[in-house]
Structure 1
Amino acid sequence: MRAKIHMLFEQFLGAMQAQPEASVVHSLAASPRLGDFLQDLDPDLSLDWSGQSFQGLPELRERIVTRLGHAPVCSADDVLVTAGTAEANFLAISNLVGPGDEMIVDVPGWPQPLVLGEAIGADVRRLPRHESRGWAFDLDELAALITPRTRLIFLCNPNNPTGHLLNEQELGAVIDLASDVGAWVLTDEVYRGLEWEDRPTPSAANLYERGISTGSVSKALGLQGLRTGWLICRDAKLIFDSVVLREDTSEIMNIMGEAIARIAMSPERYRAAIDRARSDGRRNLEVLERFIASNEYLEWHRPQAGLITFCRLRGPLQADAFSKRLLAPPYRTFVMPGSAYGYPDHLRLGVGGGNPEALERGLEHMQTLLSEL
């Protein structure tokens, strides 16, 4: 299997080489420091494999299902701790989808399943989200894509990059369609916990015996560097097959990452971190909302969840040209062009990082360039 580079990663590589002075791309909550966890870490912790379970630290798995609302439908036995959401998605897709199988992926959305599906040799079918409907997709269009050869429906919910959120009734309708042909439903729930309308993200793993929920401590808790995520599914065979596949890829778990994640997922720390991320995110979203409202070149649908949003860019430049000029002197500011998701007339903007001054600095540079246009 040979995976092609997707444009989102290509844009990040280019921006790192340019070393921007400002950015409007931050997609995760403010990151804690290692020192925040030192007093709760055991200095005698062995950095060898824990020897407790190939599925990950039992206490961490228990905290995942408890904190995220998967219990009592799902238990710790239904959790596999992974190297971030990306590995969880990789393990599920690789185990369930083969050459010639059909796989449905929402677009715009997280590009990983498109790249992996095509590398596997699957027939990857794109389910379009419609800007005119607030980035919702059409269930009738989904039904038309499903055939007896459909193995997996992959949905990013809350959606990356639009911030659209499926409710439980809508996800249930997707599951009904999938169950008619025995297809699996995977929801990438990496932004779970950052819902702005106080409507919780529904879980595919809770609603469907062939449902898979993936997530991590990266976005809502700002712990991307731990590379600690999870795959949750009530199908014991998929969990076991994923353990076996991981043995031949990344092998066994990240002991330090799991130890810190276990602390971060404790009741008192988790609630405080989520409250802080939600407070910072709401404040930065308000900053961005005022900026867009005052700018004739931009329009958006305010995200229902998450720390990124998709804006339409109007005017003389498409997003690629605009972002290229903005990254160059004198602006030296990074924004993500929508072409990274196949939408060349959009920009993906991020309000993460917890620092409104940094966000405002990036927006000021954007405004200067837009005014010059």
Structure 2
Amino acid sequence: MQPDISAAIDDLSATLTTIEKVMDPRALEERARELEAQAGDPSLWDDPNHAQKVTSELSSTQSKLKKLSSLRQRLDDLPVMYELAEEEGDASLVDEELADLREAIESLEVTTMLSGEYDQREAVINIRSGAGGVDAADWAEMLMRMYTRWADKHGHKVDVYDISYAEEAGIKSATFVVHGEYMYGTLSVEQGAHRLVRLSPFDNQNRRQTSFAEVEVLPVVEQTDSIDIPDAEVRVDVYRSSGPGGQSVNTTDSAVRLTHVPTGIVVTCQNEKSQIQNKASAMRVLQAKLLERKRQEERAEMDALGAGGNASWGNQMRSYVLHPYQMVKDLRTNHEVGDPSKVLDGDIDDFLEAGIRWRMAEMREA
């Protein structure tokens, strides 16, 4: 086996060993046995919410164990596969296996960096158009497509809670949930202002336009979170759902707008036909916003005491330039690519990984 191949395998093995130390397969096996015992208890489903939590954690734990075991086995098999390939004079398939393994191990390594209190949860994403008029509204819609395309490519379901369409083109705002484990930890590095530079398709003179959109990422609130919202603090308004151009898409007043009176936070939801369902979805988003507000207040208190890091790391975080040259650059990590079309079609994994590694380095420095 060639020395460079042997060195590459050794490097991957060392990385996987570090991952195994962090994830601790023995502890995972012990937890899986505990959860299997709970899942086998006939009375488990007397409390459906608790049962759902147990079965979900069991599935996640078993998946982690299976992934660790599979990666280690594949890595151990590589030297033999290369020896056989060299005898046959064609190592192309084994080279592909090495590349696939490297990608899978590096991806798992990034996951081990998601150890925050809420990182394992699903994500609520809010996108709002900023400065730039109709171009900004169009840009907000392009960003929404980028994230939903990314989710689709990775098999993550997306539920759109609310879209407010702009008059000429694009959207004023949108709220949607990306389902799946570690979605908040993964996508939270996308929070901040996204800047687009291009020749405006809405300008008669085809002039260059700079526009902005704001991305907010929140963890989905669970029942165990201590976010109690008294009914007296919430004003509920109902109205008729509408689509692009104001055309009615619902004949009943099923859309719901919640206003949290003490903070002025407003949340809307109109994706369901039922007013009750829309109110429940809107309440989850409101709880997520209040939870994030609480976390920011606590972080500000810690920063004031000198114990925290930079709480505004997510602002003005990335530029997408379509003219006079082609480039997407993250202003925090300095990661950049020269093909914006791929990025806008959902190819953002490298930016996510770079953001997570950057955030981990910032936390270590703090």
Same topology, TM > 0.5: no
Higher fraction of helix: 2
Greater C-alpha radius of gyration:
2
Q: Give the TM-score, by structure 1 length.
A: 0.25
Between the two structures, name the one with larger relative contact order (CA 8 Å, sep ≥ 6).
Answer: 1
